[in-house]
Amino acid sequence: MKFIATTGYSLEGVLNRELKTLGMNVLDVSTSRVMFEGDHIDGCRASIMLRSAGRVLLQVSNFSAMTFDELFDGAYSVQWERIVEEGVSVKVVARSVNSALFSQRTIQSIVQKAIFKRICDKRRIRFIQGQPKYNVDVLIHKNVVSISIDLVGKPLHMRGYRVLNSDAAIRETLAASLVLLSGWKFDRPLHDPFCGSGTILVEAALLARNIGPGINRKFFYNDIPWWPKSACEKAKEQCRDEEYRGELPPITGADIDESVLSMAKTHLKKARLTNDISLRVENVKNMTLNRDRGHIITNPPYGERLSNKNAIFTTYTDFADAYRQKPGYSCHVITSYEKTQSIFGRKADRKRKLYNGNIQTFYYQFFGRLIN
């Protein structure tokens, strides 16, 4: 079986490393997508354990098409009558990149017609009844068509622990990606001085404990008649067996807004991580770091969220001044604020363009300067 895991812009390398860490056989890495192969258990494990992925898809067909007739024939050749049970329908979502067939609406219509005709022909019926149940993903890239079925249902960033949202909340999958990109090895403290509703902290603790972010949620494959229930249970059992139950380094968060911290406390409780993360009300200019070495990973306020330019400049200046007092810490900052590097007084050791929602940001990584 071939699976496709999707992710955000420029994060396919992170996703690739995640899959290989899980022991998956990666077949191909492309923009925002990684293909891997495995069995039903692997598909379930990927859905439960992947942190940077948005979805996990099961590929059902892959073929070349430069005309709509070729697209129809390729989609019709799939044994949809074995995939889609009676009484339900499908919804098709399409995307085309650098291909002769480029109209997404037409691609969707052609593929859906092919699916319906195949099912009607094989079942000897005139039309399909029922509401859409299966989400069919169609990607045409350089005239190669990939048709897949979504296995997860609700996007993977919907872990289940974040029930309250602050205005500047970062998506869970992006927060996890920031932690994975930081190089944090769970041997030193981690601090978020602008922790808000706690997403980065929760994702860091889940990673350190090797708790699958999807371990407590339901997936679409649970409702697929032909998907073996034993695979679901076996995968969940394997994931729980691999959790780490030992001691963690200090994971701490701070925020100047006590009402926002109350949201974070709620999320820590929902994620069952209250004992692993400490929170405090603190202005960033008084940032407290009790060890000589560690990691700061944070999503501070920036221009799109603070209209007062003086307030932005002051916040970043206070942050940079406090950070300089602890040169052994590595500081990882996602922001769209263009003066970040100049305020920190140095060029970032690494800089990566990422999107926080629809906002173009950069992930600045300033590595610690203490010599062992």
* End-to-end C-alpha distance for the chain, whole angstroms: 47
Amino acid, single-letter form, for residue 246: G
Q: Please tell me whether residues 7 and 133 are part of one structural domain.
A: yes
Question: pLDDT above 90 covers what percent of the chain?
Answer: 91
Q: Please tell me whether residues 192 and 111 are part of one structural domain.
A: no
Q: Please tell me whether residues 183 and 144 are part of one structural domain.
A: no
240 lies in a domain? no
Q: Quick one: pLDDT band at residue 95, thresholds 50, 70, 90? A: very high
Residue closest to 332 by CA, chosen among 157, 140, 203, 163:
203
C-beta neighbour count of 220 within 10 angstroms: 19
CATH number of the structural domain spanning residue 44: 3.30.2130.30
Long-range contacts of 217-224 (CB under 8 A, 24+ apart): 217/154, 217/158, 217/159, 217/160, 218/153, 219/44, 219/47, 219/151, 219/152, 219/153, 220/135, 220/150, 220/151, 220/152, 220/153, 221/43, 221/44, 221/47, 221/151, 221/152, 223/133, 224/151
User: CA-CA distance, 51 to 176, in Å (whole number)?
Assistant: 6
Reply yes or no on whether the pLDDT at 305 is more than 80.
no
187 lies in a domain? yes
Q: Please tell me whether residues 60 and 180 are part of one structural domain.
A: no
Please enumerate in sequence order all residues whose Cβ is within 8 A of that of 296, keeping only pairs 6 or more positions apart, or say none: 190, 191, 192, 193, 289, 323, 329, 330, 331, 332, 333
Residue closest to 187 by CA, chosen among 326, 294, 298:
294
Please enumerate in sequence order all residues whose Cβ is within 8 A of that of 2, keeping only pairs 6 or more positions apart, or say none: 27, 35, 36, 37, 58, 59, 62
The tokens 């990673």 sit on which residue?
Answer: 207
* Section 26-55 average pLDDT: 97
Question: pLDDT above 70 covers what percent of the chain?
Answer: 97
234 lies in a domain? no
Task: Report how far apart, in Å, the C-alpha atoms of 111 and of each of 33, 68, 84, 182 are.
Answer: 21, 9, 14, 42
For the chain, count helices (H), then strands (E): 11, 14
Number of structural domains the chain divides into: 2
Q: Please tell me whether residues 146 and 74 are part of one structural domain.
A: yes
Q: Sort strands 359-366 and 350-356 into parallel, antiparallel or unpaired.
A: antiparallel
Q: Sort strands 190-192 and 329-335 into parallel, antiparallel or unpaired.
A: unpaired
Which two three-digit tokens encode residue 91? 């919804």
* Section 44-72 average pLDDT: 97
231 lies in a domain? no
User: CA-CA distance, 304 to 264, in Å (whole number)?
Assistant: 22
63 lies in a domain? yes
Reply yes or no on whether the pLDDT at 176 is more than 90.
yes
275 lies in a domain? yes
Q: Please tell me whether residues 56 and 122 are part of one structural domain.
A: yes
CATH number of the structural domain spanning residue 285: 3.40.50.150
Q: What is the pLDDT of residues 324-369, one digit of tens each?
A: 999 999 999 999 999 999 999 999 999 999 999 889 999 999 999 8
Q: Please tell me whether residues 7 and 71 are part of one structural domain.
A: yes
Q: Please tell me whether residues 206 and 113 are part of one structural domain.
A: no
Domain hosting 100: range is 2-150
pTM greater than 0.85 (yes/no): yes
User: CA-CA distance, 111 to 93, in Å (whole number)?
Assistant: 9
Which two three-digit tokens encode residue 143? 């005239």
> How confident is the model at residue 370, as a pLDDT?
67
Q: What is the pLDDT of residues 116-151, one digit of tens each?
A: 999 999 999 998 989 999 999 999 999 999 999 999
The tokens 């406090």 sit on which residue?
Answer: 322
164 lies in a domain? no
> How confident is the model at residue 167, as a pLDDT?
67
167 lies in a domain? no
Q: Please tell me whether residues 67 and 181 are part of one structural domain.
A: no
**Are 250 and 291 a contacting pair, CB within 8 Å?**
yes
Which two three-digit tokens encode residue 277? 């993360």
Q: Please tell me whether residues 130 and 206 are part of one structural domain.
A: no
Q: Please tell me whether residues 191 and 338 are part of one structural domain.
A: yes
Q: Please tell me whether residues 69 and 179 are part of one structural domain.
A: no
User: CA-CA distance, 15 to 37, in Å (whole number)?
Assistant: 14
Reply yes or no on whether the pLDDT at 45 is more than 60.
yes
One-character DSSP codes across 26-52: EEEEETTEEEEE--HHHHHHHHHH-SS
